[in-house]
């Protein structure tokens, strides 16, 4: 079940009716839990058992860790949680990857190893909900929080359907306290939630799937050499597609949640207006970048040691962050490039004493443009199926392969340019603003008109309801 489907519209209407029916708060929470399991079961019902196992084990491990005073025993209990969550993630997501690499290693030393067929289906959202449950156990272990008193609240925190399959990656402090008291949305909040759903669907259905997907698919799927203009157009189109697709999901999730009276954290803050790479990661997939910072980078030592230890910690964090995205070495390189960018930026800031952003507009724009172009290079490895395809596309972008006829027609090329120009302008104008504040200062008729136009565009462009890109992670 995806947000951009009629099935979800019916499902959401039923959820809203039950949530605003005259039931007790306990019953309403139980209803939300059941509906969340139904939402997840729409893909593959047996995988509910994995979700349930992760929920139960982390609930009890956190309780036992909190009561235990002996450091060694606390570590052992934490290892149980880590073994279950990371074990499930490794088996389902990285099992085939491990076998493939083991086969290559054996072949390199002359052993003809033939691995068994790997027909395991990847449970949707497993990368997200394992991080959600781990944050609960780790917070208790690190004595940042106490375990909850209500198993129902914890189970709902893990399975709450708006964030379940593609984030934001919520922390216990983000959501569990909201379940303690009855929650309903006021009329303005409900309308704002609906407007965010429309905005999210517009980003996904119109921008990502309709305006940008064709050019990106044609370029990344091309078998022949490409002219530099076509190669760059495809990569830039993908940069816009993946932002609109993923930010669209997060915006829908926040909007759906607001309609029920709950608040989810913002996951994107106009990342293509970032001035530098640390600024980019403060704006892109915020729930993941802060998770990696708090549970990996800081425990590794963060920036508390020497300069080279800091660079090492940055690289390890980003390499693992890349691997989290997918079982392919191309994702590791994607993360590694971001690690290099962050390390290089840190080195330059320390070397030349740069403590903030440039003050004047032109240097800001130049640094933002350089940041974006280098990020686009990383998207090549993120999207390409293998290194051979990535290398060919990078060579085409640099004009290093024989010239070939263009494959992108004038109209799609123009639509990509207009769409991305509008996206960059919007990101730049909004980089230091909040959408709620901007909308609040506009007349209601204008806001209604804009939302109505976006809704009409979604209806006109809606096709088969393609899945969001991040569902595969």
> Residues 134, 308, 328, 120: is their CA dihedral positive or negative?
negative
Closest CA to 129 of 40, 191, 62: 40
Torsion of CA 321, 322, 328, 332, to 10 degrees: -120
| Distance in angstroms (rounded) separating the CA atoms of residues 212 and 420 | 9
Q: Which residues contact 354 (CB under 8 A, 6 or more apart)?
A: 348
In contact, 289 and 322? CB cutoff 8 Å: no
Residues 6+ apart with CB under 8 A from 428: 270, 273, 368
Q: Which residue out of 163, 285, 325, 427 is catalytically annotated?
A: 325
Residue 216 in contact with residue 164, Cβ under 8 Å?
no
Q: Alpha-carbon distance 161 to 40, whole Å?
A: 7
Helices (H), 147-282: 151-159, 161-164, 172-175, 187-201, 213-220, 228-259, 277-281
Residue 421: which of 207, 231, 112, 119 has the closest Cα? 207
Question: How far from chain centre, in Å, is Cα 317?
Answer: 16
325 among known catalytic residues: yes
The answer to whether residues 409 and 214 touch, using CB atoms and an 8 Å cutoff, is no
Active site residues: 325
């Amino acid at each position: 079940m995806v947000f951009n489907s009629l099935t979800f519209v019916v499902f959401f209407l039923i959820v809203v009716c039950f949530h605003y029916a005259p039931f007790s708060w306990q019953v309403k929470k139980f209803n939300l839990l059941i509906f969340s399991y139904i939402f997840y079961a729409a893909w593959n019902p047996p995988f509910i058992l994995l979700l349930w196992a992760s929920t139960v084990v982390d609930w009890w491990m956190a309780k036992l860790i909190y009561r235990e005073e002996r450091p060694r025993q606390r570590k052992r209990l934490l290892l149980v949680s880590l073994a279950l969550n990371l074990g499930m993630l490794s088996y389902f997501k990285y099992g085939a990857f491990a076998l493939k690499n083991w086969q290559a290693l054996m072949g390199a030393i002359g052993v003809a190893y033939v691995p068994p067929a790997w027909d395991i289906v990847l449970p949707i959202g497993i990368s997200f909900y394992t991080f959600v449950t781990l944050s609960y156990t780790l917070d208790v272990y690190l004595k940042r929080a106490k375990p909850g008193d209500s198993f129902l609240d914890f189970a709902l925190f893990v399975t709450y359907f708006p964030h379940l399959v593609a984030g934001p990656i919520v922390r216990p402090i983000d959501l569990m306290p909201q379940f303690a008291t009855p929650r309903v949305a006021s009329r303005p909040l409900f309308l704002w939630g609906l407007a965010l759903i429309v905005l999210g669907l517009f980003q996904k259905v119109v921008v990502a799937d309709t305006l940008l997907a064709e050019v990106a698919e044609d370029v990344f799927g091309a078998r022949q050499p490409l002219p530099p203009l076509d190669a760059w157009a495809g990569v830039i189109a993908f940069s816009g597609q993946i932002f609109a697709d993923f930010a669209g999901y997060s915006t829908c999730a926040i909007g759906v949640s607001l309609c029920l009276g709950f608040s989810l954290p913002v996951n994107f803050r106009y990342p293509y207006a970032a001035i530098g790479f640390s600024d980019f990661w403060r704006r892109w997939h915020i729930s993941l970048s802060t998770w990696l910072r708090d549970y990996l980078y800081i425990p590794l030592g963060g920036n508390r040691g020497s300069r080279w230890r800091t660079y090492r910690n940055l690289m390890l964090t980003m390499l693992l962050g890349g691997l989290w995205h997918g079982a392919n070495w191309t994702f590791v390189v994607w993360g590694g490039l971001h690690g290099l960018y962050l390390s290089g930026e840190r080195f330059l800031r320390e070397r030349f004493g740069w403590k903030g952003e440039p003050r004047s507009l032109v240097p800001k724009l130049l640094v933002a443009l350089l940041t974006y172009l280098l990020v686009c290079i990383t998207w090549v490895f993120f999207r390409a199926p293998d290194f051979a395809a990535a290398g060919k596309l990078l060579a085409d972008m640099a004009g290093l392969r024989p010239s070939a006829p263009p494959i992108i027609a004038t109209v799609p090329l123009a639509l990509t340019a207009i769409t991305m120009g509008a996206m960059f302008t919007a990101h730049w104008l909004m980089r230091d603003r909040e959408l709620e504040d901007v909308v609040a200062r506009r007349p209601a008729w204008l806001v209604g008109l804009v939302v109505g136009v976006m809704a009409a565009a979604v209806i006109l462009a809606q096709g088969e309801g393609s899945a969001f890109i991040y569902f595969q992670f």
